[in-house]
Chains A and B, each alone.
Chain A
């Protein structure tokens, strides 16, 4: 990533800042995507949006004695081969807090030197699925807005990745607005919600009850 100052490494001291993520998700049909890009170009920071194509593998680790699993994603950029693999711990969404303007979860990202699949499997994680997200990344101050298309590796095992054989999973783009902040600092939530209102009615960004999605799995 050349325009945004992207630091895959977290410098030489583990900072406990930026562990809490406020986010809202929505979607927009492919037909209306240009309207969304136009609006984002207008309200976001004045830099060219960054194109990204990331392979994202989702692993789950079931904890004995608890019903919820631990989710970790391993991401690698396809168009920037020099950017390292990243493993992201994605916490569970803090439940049922109707007063908060955005959804909250914890997020820890670690850059690693090589494909972490074997390492994650030795930790006990099991690969659930792999997708490719291709889209654009916009910024506005602290906020990060991604508009991405979900692509799947058509019909072939996860070990053979062929960038030419990707097909779209559906006819829409996934839009996500997120902001990282200190634990227990809720200021960013309001910023996320305010930004989301600017995208209406092209993309309706709402709090989604992820438990309902998980029940369908």
Chain B
């Protein structure tokens, strides 16, 4: 469990999602990364039937943490729970209902390259695909501020022109937070952006 960076990867002009994924996978393999299975990160959102409560609740299931589920209110509290969270929330169905549009997930190949873990996933909502998500994890370090430079170097190797210029806001705001929380928050932000983008089309 280490510091992670999650972001959307913009597909080059003229290529479709499948070709984009292959391009990224080739880059990772050329660097020397080895395949190490599949990964999935799913997010389900809930909203309250009580009109006064406008908050959205997101629950994340990350295959990297199979025995946990993460619950996060937008701009609110974050909780790590065990797998019964889904059953618990279904008992509250009269007040908290799953949002229309349902589950959004990032699913794909997981690569290991020394101390780095690279995940290249296709983001989809039901049958329709929305984009590509890239996650880079530097496993040995638990402090984002300490290893950010190293991660930026790695990101330049992988995705050069789309590498971030500075620390993502999610991490900069709470650099001491639990690492699983930072990963979950980055995924939630990514999924929200993709949802908005597809609604605007």
* Interchain CB contact under 8 A, A108 and B53: no
Q: How far is the CA of A123 from the CA of B57 in the complex (A)?
A: 9
**Interface-facing stretch out of A37-45, A59-67, A185-193:** A59-67
A162-204: which have CB < 8 Å to B? none
What is the total number of residues of chain A having a CB less than 8 Å from a CB of chain B? 31
A11 contacts which of B57, B67, B85 (Cβ < 8 Å)?
A: B67
Indicate whether A119 sits within 8 Å of B77 (C-beta atoms), given known contacts A70-B94, A91-B91, A124-B53: yes
**Interface-facing stretch out of A12-20, A47-55, A207-215:** A12-20
Q: How far is the CA of A145 from the CA of B170 in the complex (A)?
A: 47
Q: Is B145 in the interface zone, CB < 8 Å from A?
A: no
Q: How far is the CA of A183 from the CA of B91 in the complex (A)?
A: 14
Among residues of A, the one whose C-beta sits closest to the C-beta of B85 is A110
Contacts of B161 in A (CB 8 A): none
Among residues of A, the one whose C-beta sits closest to the C-beta of B180 is A113
Among residues of B, the one whose C-beta sits closest to the C-beta of A66 is B94
B83-133: which have CB < 8 Å to A? 83-88, 91-92, 94-96
* Interchain CB contact under 8 A, B81 and A14: no
Q: Is B73 in the interface zone, CB < 8 Å from A?
A: yes
Q: How far is the CA of A63 from the CA of B94 in the complex (A)?
A: 7
Among residues of A, the one whose C-beta sits closest to the C-beta of B92 is A70
A67-85: which have CB < 8 Å to B? 70
Q: Is A4 in the interface zone, CB < 8 Å from B?
A: no
Q: How far is the CA of A122 from the CA of B96 in the complex (A)?
A: 11
Q: Is A114 in the interface zone, CB < 8 Å from B?
A: yes
Contacts of B79 in A (CB 8 A): 112-114, 116, 119
Contacts of A70 in B (CB 8 A): 91-92, 94-95
Among residues of B, the one whose C-beta sits closest to the C-beta of A68 is B94
Quote the shortest CB–CB distance from B30 to chain A (angstroms). Answer: 34
Interface residues, chain A, with chain B CB atoms under 8 Å away = 8-14, 16, 19, 61, 63-64, 66, 70, 87, 89, 91, 106, 108-114, 116, 118-119, 122-124
Interface residues, chain B, with chain A CB atoms under 8 Å away = 48-50, 53, 55, 57, 66-67, 71, 73, 76-77, 79-88, 91-92, 94-96
Q: List 21 A-B contacts (CB under 8 A).
A: A12-B66, A13-B83, A63-B95, A64-B49, A70-B91, A70-B94, A70-B95, A87-B88, A89-B88, A106-B91, A108-B91, A110-B81, A110-B85, A112-B81, A113-B79, A118-B77, A119-B79, A122-B57, A123-B57, A124-B48, A124-B53
